[in-house]
Amino acid sequence: MIRRHFGTLAIALALPLAFTVPAQAQPYPAKPIRMVVPFPPGGGTDILARLVAQKLTEANHWTVVPDNRGGAGGTIGIAEAARAAPTGYDIVMGQKDNMVVAPWLYKNLSYNPVRDLTAVAHVAYTPVVIVTQASSKFKTLDDVVKAARAAPDTVTYGSPGNGTTIHLAGEIFNGAAQIKMRHVPYKGSNAAMMDVLAGNVDLMVSSVPSALAQIKAGKLRPLAVTSAKRSTSLPETPTVAELGYKGFDVSTWYGLFVPAKTPKDVIATLNTEVNKLLATPEMKAAIVAQGAEPQSMTPEQFETLLKTDYEKWKGIVQASGATIE
């Protein structure tokens, strides 16, 4: 009788323990992933982000949902991603503009990219292109320089926003050519594009992906690209360096970041899957068709690029004298 009671007691004590053993965690991702896009729809960042989101969804049966959070040169979206929980379910398509340039331009930026975000996967890089309306009086970059020298601060150029690499490419060219063009900032590439097409601004300094469709349609005339070598997508367009400004080299990169302290296995999974996509002929062709150049990296390589450019652009921004309140 006593033995029977002890046996019953042992079973009763064991049952709660069995029910408290945690179930094995589901493999990542177990729910939809939000991809923050820090610019409005239609620009180069948005195009690449949606392409990556679509291909990740198709290849892996994941659900990756782009979420546009534009404004302030892309810093609003980056700040939101930096504040998100480090679970891997909030990722952001960052670029040189808001990751390594903006921190030196904005006096009260709410995030530090090196401290608050972690590099996951480099996706692509692209030169910047200087374009004008197809019917513009500016046929060459030299025409722009001559007009700007003759009447300083009258030639206007639009950009996706203050503090972007593209904005500073125009300012760096001002210095290289010893001219003064007037900068007109917009909230994203699409708004700037509409105004240059309408003739409301003389020029636009743009990423190649943002301008390529209008160039191919014959509505925009490319005057020069700002990278050290010509763009694969615009092989007939000379570089600024070729046109007499030796050493001129400004390009931008795009890649995925997550909040700091995101688990390393999640970062490894994302990096592996993005790099698999970048290795496929279909994805390579899709990125090149948008005017960018695909380039894969390990998380460590991309983190090194982030930190190197972060320090490099400190000097460039300070030398330009540009600041944003």
pLDDT at position 156, please?
A: 98
Mean per-residue pLDDT, 151-170:
88
pLDDT band of residue 114 (cuts 50, 70, 90) is very high
23-37, 112-126, 217-231, 302-316: segment of lowest average pLDDT: 23-37
pLDDT at position 160, please?
A: 85
What is the rounded end-to-end Cα distance, in angstroms, of the chain? 83
CA distance 189 to 204: 9
* 107 vs 104 pLDDT, higher one: 104
User: Tokens at residue 88, please?
Assistant: 């891997």
Share of the chain above pLDDT 90, in %: 69
Say if residues 188 and 215 touch (Cβ distance below 8 Å).
Answer: no
Strand 64-68 vs strand 251-259: parallel, antiparallel, or unpaired? unpaired
- In 3D space, the residue among 29, 47, 38, 58 whose CA is nearest the CA of residue 277 turns out to be 58
pLDDT band of residue 16 (cuts 50, 70, 90) is very low
CA distance 164 to 87: 28
Helix, strand or coil, per DSSP, at residue 277 = helix
Strand partners, 91: 35
Residue 4 has pLDDT above 80, yes or no: no
Average pLDDT taken over every residue of the chain: 89
pLDDT in tens, 275-287: 999 999 999 999 9
Q: Which helix H or strand E contains 88, and what residues bound it?
A: none
Q: pTM for the complete prediction?
A: 0.75
Strand 33-37 vs strand 64-68: parallel, antiparallel, or unpaired? parallel
Strand 251-259 vs strand 117-133: parallel, antiparallel, or unpaired? antiparallel
Instruction: Find the radius of gyration of the CA atoms of the chain.
Output: 24
Residue 79 has pLDDT above 70, yes or no: yes
